[in-house]
Amino acid sequence: MKTSPRHAAGMSLLEVMIAVLILAIGLLGVAALQATALKNSQGSLARSQAIMDSYAMMDSIRASIPVAAINDPVAKANAIALYEMARTCVVPAAGASLAENDRREWIQTMHSTLGQGSCGTIDCEDTVCTVTVEWDESRTTGGEQNFSISTVSQL
């Protein structure tokens, strides 16, 4: 039994091309989504690293307070004041004191984890310290050139 061309089953070339086009557009969308997710996860990693760096400096300051100064507010404030540092993006020279070496290592760590343009500030008022970490987050989706995180703690 012969079938006429009107009743032929299957897909035409045009239908196949339209299906391939729709599939290609969908795959391009998935690829763009993957690239955006990768960028944003890098930004999340940088923020997490900045928080860890700021906590590390707070812990260094806390650990440097002499035992005898813990109950003496003036001596405690004087020990904490040694760590104060204006905003700097350059690794300080090696020093003779623990505070100088801690600040140097802190900036070096930030440069290795957040990039060479990262900066840090330590501002202490009596026993309350604010540690600020700044870095470039412009590579992420909607990221800022100068992004910063500040951690405040009473020591």
Per-residue pLDDT tens for 107-150? 999 999 888 889 999 999 988 999 999 998 777 666 667 788 99
Q: Is residue 40 part of a domain?
A: no
Q: Is residue 17 part of a domain?
A: no
Q: What is the pLDDT of residues 10-46, one digit of tens each?
A: 678 888 899 999 999 999 999 999 988 888 788 888 8
Q: Which residue has the tokens 């104060």?
A: 84
Q: Is residue 25 part of a domain?
A: no
Domains held by the chain: number: 1
Tokens of 102: 């801690």
Residue 126 domain boundaries: 46-154
Provide the pairing of β-strand 119-125 with 128-135: antiparallel
- CA atoms of 47 and 133, how far apart (whole Å): 10
Position 1 pLDDT exceeds 60:
no
Q: Is residue 20 part of a domain?
A: no
Q: Is residue 37 part of a domain?
A: no
Q: Write the secondary structure of 72-139 as one string of H (helix), E (strand) and C (coil).
A: CHHHHHHHHHCCCEEEECCCCCCCCCHHHHHHHHHHHHHHHHHCCCCEEEEEEECCEEEEEEEECCCC
Q: Is residue 11 part of a domain?
A: no
Q: Is residue 57 part of a domain?
A: yes
Q: Is residue 149 part of a domain?
A: yes
Region of poorest pLDDT, from 30-34, 49-53, 95-99, 109-113: 95-99
pTM exceeding the 0.75 threshold for the entire prediction: no
